[in-house]
């Protein structure tokens, strides 16, 4: 019997098909094996963002990665409402803010993370509300922590898909996020006017509760942040009003 011609087109084609099947199967197996681990990592990152918004960067000092979820489960309660402040029968774990953003405002599920104090979880430290919008190149989002008064920003954590490094991407810098701490929401005209990045950078706005020092060279990203905070927090207004009345 003559040997199979390894230089023939048929051999090369069969070899390519076999190798594709083998490596494709291996990749699928590895991907499936890592899926649960990836989900766990995403969940821990979200929980860390929520706690970081509520307690600040230094508030998580000494908290190691394996301790994030136990701490979160101990001190965080979750509510899901619609833009009328009415409870929704929706499981928070299944909510993807990016997907909700693509829905009409009347259809969006709005999760609220009620964070208790570390030494007394039954006492509210802050209300953390996720928001979503568009920057210069792609989507941006944030976790906004409002003090128990539901007016003062206690902390904020921004993230993005692809803003420009050194410019718009600076929204993830702790020094930029800290500019929002202590600023206030303005509820005039029955809506929410969140504190805004101003044009330019390097101005002291410490005496103004509604103005935030801007991002030099990142005007469009800054405007995207301003619009995102106003538009998304406005949907939480009925919930905010209901709970401010209880105080």
Q: What is the mean pLDDT of residues 210-237?
A: 96
> pLDDT (tens digit, 9 = 90+) per residue, 114-156?
999 988 999 999 999 999 999 999 999 999 999 999 999 999 9
Instruction: Answer whether 170's CB lies under 8 Å from 218's CB.
Output: yes
Q: What is the mean pLDDT of residues 33-55?
A: 86
pLDDT of residue 1: 46
Q: What is the mean pLDDT of residues 173-184?
A: 96
Quote the pTM value: 0.84
How much of the chain exceeds pLDDT 90, in percent? 73
| Least confident residue range of 56-65, 172-181, 197-206 | 56-65
In terms of pLDDT, which residue wins out, 9 or 63? Answer: 63
Domain limits of the chain?
39-245
| Least confident residue range of 4-8, 14-18, 54-58, 172-176 | 4-8
Q: What is the mean pLDDT of the chain?
A: 91
> pLDDT (tens digit, 9 = 90+) per residue, 71-101?
999 999 999 999 999 999 999 999 999 999 9
The structure tokens 């050194």 sit at 166
Q: What is the mean pLDDT of residues 225-244?
A: 95
pLDDT higher than threshold 70 for residue 31: no
Q: What is the 3-state secondary structure (H, E, C) of 5-73?
A: CCCCHHHHHHHHHHHHHHHHHHHHHHHHHHHHHHHHHHHHHHHHHHHHHHHCCHHHCCCCHHHHHHHHH
How much of the chain exceeds pLDDT 70, in percent? 94
pLDDT of residue 21: 84
Closest C-alpha to 124, from 61, 68, 77, 57? 77
Closest C-alpha to 170, from 120, 211, 222? 222
Instruction: Answer whether 88's CB lies under 8 Å from 109's CB.
Output: yes
């Amino acid at each position: 019997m003559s040997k199979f011609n390894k230089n023939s087109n048929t051999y090369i084609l069969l070899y390519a098909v076999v190798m594709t099947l083998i490596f494709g199967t291996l990749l699928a197996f590895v991907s499936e094996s890592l899926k649960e681990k990836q989900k766990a990592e995403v969940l821990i990152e979200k929980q860390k963002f929520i706690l970081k918004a509520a307690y600040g960067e230094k508030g998580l000092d000494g908290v190691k990665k394996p301790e994030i979820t136990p701490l979160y489960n101990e001190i965080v309660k979750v509510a899901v409402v619609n833009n009328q402040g009415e409870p929704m029968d929706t499981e928070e774990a299944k909510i993807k803010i990016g997907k909700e953003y693509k829905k009409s405002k009347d259809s969006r599920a709005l999760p609220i993370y009620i964070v208790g104090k570390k030494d007394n979880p039954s006492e509210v430290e802050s209300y953390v509300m996720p928001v979503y919008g568009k920057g210069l190149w792609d989507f941006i989002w944030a976790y906004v922590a409002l003090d128990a008064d539901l007016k003062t920003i206690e902390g904020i954590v921004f993230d993005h898909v692809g803003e420009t490094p050194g410019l718009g991407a600076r929204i993830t810098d702790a020094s930029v996020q800290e500019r929002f701490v202590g600023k206030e929401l303005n509820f005039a005209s029955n809506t929410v006017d969140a504190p805004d990045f101003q044009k330019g950078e390097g101005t002291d706005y410490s005496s103004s509760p509604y103005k935030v020092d801007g991002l030099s060279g990142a005007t469009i990203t800054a405007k995207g942040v301003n619009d995102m905070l106003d538009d998304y927090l406005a949907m939480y207004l009925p919930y905010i009003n209901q709970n401010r009345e209880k105080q």
